[in-house]
Amino acid sequence: ATMDYSRAKKGQVIAYALGNFGVTDPSECIMVGDRKFDAEGAAVCGIKSIGVLYGHGTYEELSASPFEALFEKPEDVVEYLK
């Protein structure tokens, strides 16, 4: 499939994904993101979010975003989600 860019904002992308997966309770989901747009999009959709510092965003960007927690390593994310 090709991208048509009809969902330009992260919240629109997240809402589309939730609908495709049949999610009826967004509070049971968590967004794992590496940019402020991930946290902002999750908040629009009523989803918690955590930030990962091993992606594209800087610590400064992620710490100023509405993530509930930040992690430096994938193992830390796995442990947090247990």
Compute φ and ψ for 71, nearest 5 degrees.
-135, 145
Whole-prediction pTM value? 0.85
Residue-level pLDDT at 8 = 76
Query: CA–CA separation, 61 vs 59, rounded Å?
Result: 5
All residues at 6 or more sequence positions from 39 whose CB lies less than 8 Å from its CB, including other chains: 31, 33, 49, 51, 62, 65, 66, 67
Residue-level pLDDT at 77 = 97
Q: How far is CA 57 from CA 17, 74, 80, in A?
A: 22, 15, 20
Residues of the chain with pLDDT under 50: none
Residue-level pLDDT at 3 = 58
